[in-house]
Structure 1
């Protein structure tokens, strides 16, 4: 049996929030749970009791209590959660008002800023009053086209304190990408910055903003945060005002509008690489409760922690990170390139800021390893207790890299979910061991299985990730989807009444989860389903290859695996290297994984959230049009995949 890479000490287990929560459940329900597996099984069979305990344990603030946890736990979608309750999302995140640091911000400009909880409350109060004077009321849309900076959080909290619906994009989105998102929802107010920094350069955003504003006639106010310049000229923007001028008032107290649990909070977006992005509307109570469960229980977040996630305002991890304020922790925000001015930049920051929970993408970890960065040898990381990874599957080798070159004694929590639920299906367990290549557990309250083609749960085999019971952070609806067709086709067309997420997974005998990639990008040579992550894992070990993307090509009544590789500078894809790649894949994956074609490409296309766009590459090699290329970080990379002669024989 595989040995774990890490086990928590008995002291760490007993000091964890998860352990305290388990003891609370035992005390109140007459149970005698001793480990996570028992607690998990109870959480998915006793949904009402479980979510009521989460509400209690995390201290949800509500002006009116609930009359029922859920009206019908068999109805999905459409179940009503915490009927009768009234609360405000921003009030829950601003429950602390003291001198403890709420936010530390660092960007490429090297200027460090901090806000205490008291200062954050005041800044939000003043911005909320300004929005109220601008006519913003409950249900209006307020959007941010912002760097990951304190003003982004201030604007979101101010908007949601009034019951407005928040949505955001990062400033590296192109005009069309922004319009494809904000243009659908008709926002009233736009918060933005005059620009941002990336790789040591300041990038002006004002011209782009003018192009965006011109196409969204619903906008009545543009609020500009000076970031790259001290006095940006906003005269070309209609209804524009500088942030400090907008929020210049004497407000010290706030009136938090009390709203139903299911009131809209966020509009999140699908990637938009295969069509117009879906606008997923999520509820204030659902997001709050779900994210508190994940942060407080699964991540073991406490008041004394400093939590960091490398993210932008265009990725759900920004929303997830922000809810850490409800636990009274310190948020570490960083905006810019993670490898500027040097590949170890974020780890220098981790040492200087005593970061205890460090979150990033699997792609970042793979890049760190290839650049030869070894944080444990370069920095003192005594405060670091947990490392989080998401965005794509983390390879077994990268699990080992973390423990050998970052820190031996930490909880490595590979987590997986999506913008659709603003949270996770599988994630970390501070009471349990970590095994290579495996997410520690299915999330509490998430009735997750791997389904085979017949809709039967399988263990130790690959299958579709499904969730067979409702959960609070399910989208309440999709924007402009009156007949619910988009919603149903997104999740419920494969297995009626069961959420099918689109991931290809395995639930292990010990209750962990292995992610094999997107199920719509799985390969089917000879009718056998293969996850792309298994091939990427092997490719990470090929020294001369910088990156790769693998797709299936319909060929002679079967699927041919095609592997595209981006070579490192000065390296060439020779016949000998192709043979080595095939041998490595055969040995470390299986003969069925061996690609029929291996082709060198100048670049690999990614979304702005750094996910490989396998489906877009597949469309290109079929000769189909790829729409919404503004959703890509490097859309020009796609052009090479059109009309490749080598794929015609």
Structure 2
């Protein structure tokens, strides 16, 4: 799709939204795959001053209602379904439930995706995208609004209750994204950028801002290993992708498939590879440079939906060190604070940002006195944004991520980041995945490790001893788990982040309120009433 075609599609949808009674401040939402119509809907809505938010179609109905139900949208965009591993999955049944449960929705705009003529007879408010769009519209009439006019509503993961609805401003998000795309990623008009993401993850919003640079965007929806593990690399070759974005989880999984992208495919065009979602291990750094490309910028990046961007990320002019994010974001006053609130170098601490930044939320939805906003970020160190990550700022200015600080282990009162243990386990043959949590035990905390084994391997005493030895040698004796237990699966959020807190709640017999926020909620069942943890 050319920029001219995109412009005319956006003009038509913007005019149609106006005709449907949408005005500035109204909410327009997408329950959508990562497809052109998702971006068109967002651009059209925001051009007239409406506020956009989106969820991917693999969300369960409760997860959708927990998000859209709080903000009472007027128009809902959806596709008739989506594909997973080649199999079509219906979305219209859930769209019908959304219409029933959220009466503020006056119009449902449906994009045919899994069928040419979806049946809309049971959906009274529904109209096909092609019939909705105002074809005579030629120009986008951009409504003139203040810098801090609301643009997006982003959601927290919602694993501990209703998701937070974080409202971000048009000017703030655009300035922040352009800084990260142009200066930190060296994105230019002639570049082709891809990020493996869904419309429920902030990386979709981030990718979409590449339009402001004039670059070419590649959208992909579905399983990155279907029909085979080489799929995304064939696409990178065919589309001559210059900036390739993915998650640390994808890279870790790719490593075990035997695919060698740099040897199997011509990746001459690629200049940068970006990774986020969780810390990228040193071994994964080495894998990228050995098996993907030796002369690209590998930028491990970290931030969050709260800021719709990064606190630490890449630097196209600087060196890359294994296991480190290259630098803190430009104009982001980021430090690692110790327990006394002092910045430390070369030691682990709490990630804080001591000055405002453009993309911080302007407010939370339904938080009139600002108390939810304040308690989310400013309770730990008064007046200072505390993000909830455990980091180390290195002597050379890089950043090492150690995982969520609310999931930090505290055996004997010593704080340990879970990422340190995961990095060691990722090097071990036979272990497919793992989750580590702290169990309250005899007035202290003991480290409990759950491992998911590869099909052809078993967790025996020999392997347990090897795990303990590796952790003791490469981390410290305090990191060594008191118990190592095999689990059939490891629970993740829909954005592919391990839910250590939910596992911790389950082993203590506490309720996990919002399992719909998980990609595989059934995985949590295993962690209830484990006999081995009673002694």
Q: TM-score, normalised by structure 2?
A: 1.00
Does 1:504 find its partner at 2:504?
A: no
- For residues 226 and 136 of structure 2, the distance between their equivalents in structure 1, rounded to whole angstroms, comes to 39
SS in 1 for 2:224: coil
Structure with the bigger RCO (C-alpha within 8 Å, sep 6+) is 1
What residue in structure 2 maps to residue 574 of structure 1? Answer: 460
Which of 37, 44, 48 aligns to 1:162? It is 48
What residue in structure 1 maps to residue 358 of structure 2? Answer: 472
Does 1:587 find its partner at 2:481?
A: no
What residue in structure 2 maps to residue 61 of structure 1? Answer: none
- Contact residue 15 and residue 134 of structure 2 kept, 8 A: no
What residue in structure 1 maps to residue 488 of structure 2? Answer: 602
Does 1:253 find its partner at 2:164?
A: no
Does 1:171 find its partner at 2:57?
A: yes
The answer for unaligned runs of 5 or more in structure 2 is none
Deviation of 1:248 after TM superposition, in Å, equals: 4.1
Does 1:616 find its partner at 2:502?
A: yes
Deviation of 1:136 after TM superposition, in Å, equals: 0.3
SS in 1 for 2:440: strand
Deviation of 1:238 after TM superposition, in Å, equals: 2.4
What residue in structure 2 maps to residue 200 of structure 1? Answer: 86
What residue in structure 2 maps to residue 216 of structure 1? Answer: 102
SS in 2 for 1:335: coil
Give the 5 Å matches for 1:48-127: 115-127=1-13
Does 1:128 find its partner at 2:14?
A: yes
Deviation of 1:177 after TM superposition, in Å, equals: 0.2
What residue in structure 2 maps to residue 302 of structure 1? Answer: 188
- For residues 590 and 384 of structure 1, the distance between their equivalents in structure 2, rounded to whole angstroms, comes to 39
What residue in structure 2 maps to residue 345 of structure 1? Answer: 231
What residue in structure 2 maps to residue 638 of structure 1? Answer: 524
Return structure 1 stretches of 4+ with deviation > 2 angstroms: none
What residue in structure 2 maps to residue 76 of structure 1? Answer: none
SS in 2 for 1:389: strand
What residue in structure 1 maps to residue 198 of structure 2? Answer: 312
- For residues 213 and 116 of structure 1, the distance between their equivalents in structure 2, rounded to whole angstroms, comes to 34
- For residues 370 and 502 of structure 1, the distance between their equivalents in structure 2, rounded to whole angstroms, comes to 31
What residue in structure 2 maps to residue 563 of structure 1? Answer: 449
What residue in structure 2 maps to residue 546 of structure 1? Answer: 432
What residue in structure 2 maps to residue 448 of structure 1? Answer: 334
- For residues 617 and 547 of structure 1, the distance between their equivalents in structure 2, rounded to whole angstroms, comes to 14
- 1:29-69 CA-partner distances (Å, limit 9, x unpaired): xxxxxxxxxxxxxxxxxxxxxxxxxxxxxxxxxxxxxxxxx
Give the root-mean-square deviation of aligned CA atoms.
0.6
- For residues 255 and 26 of structure 2, the distance between their equivalents in structure 1, rounded to whole angstroms, comes to 45
Which of 366, 369, 373 aligns to 2:255? It is 369
SS in 2 for 1:168: strand
- For residues 571 and 431 of structure 1, the distance between their equivalents in structure 2, rounded to whole angstroms, comes to 43
Does 1:268 find its partner at 2:268?
A: no
**How many equivalent residue pairs?**
535
What residue in structure 1 maps to residue 380 of structure 2? Answer: 494
Does 1:394 find its partner at 2:280?
A: yes
- 1:227-278 CA-partner distances (Å, limit 9, x unpaired): 0000000111121000000004211111100100000000000000011000
- 1:448-472 CA-partner distances (Å, limit 9, x unpaired): 0000000000000000000000011
Deviation of 1:570 after TM superposition, in Å, equals: 3.0
Deviation of 1:583 after TM superposition, in Å, equals: 0.8
What residue in structure 1 maps to residue 214 of structure 2? Answer: 328
- For residues 212 and 125 of structure 1, the distance between their equivalents in structure 2, rounded to whole angstroms, comes to 27
- For residues 337 and 101 of structure 2, the distance between their equivalents in structure 1, rounded to whole angstroms, comes to 44
- For residues 328 and 109 of structure 2, the distance between their equivalents in structure 1, rounded to whole angstroms, comes to 41
The answer for unaligned runs of 5 or more in structure 1 is 1-114
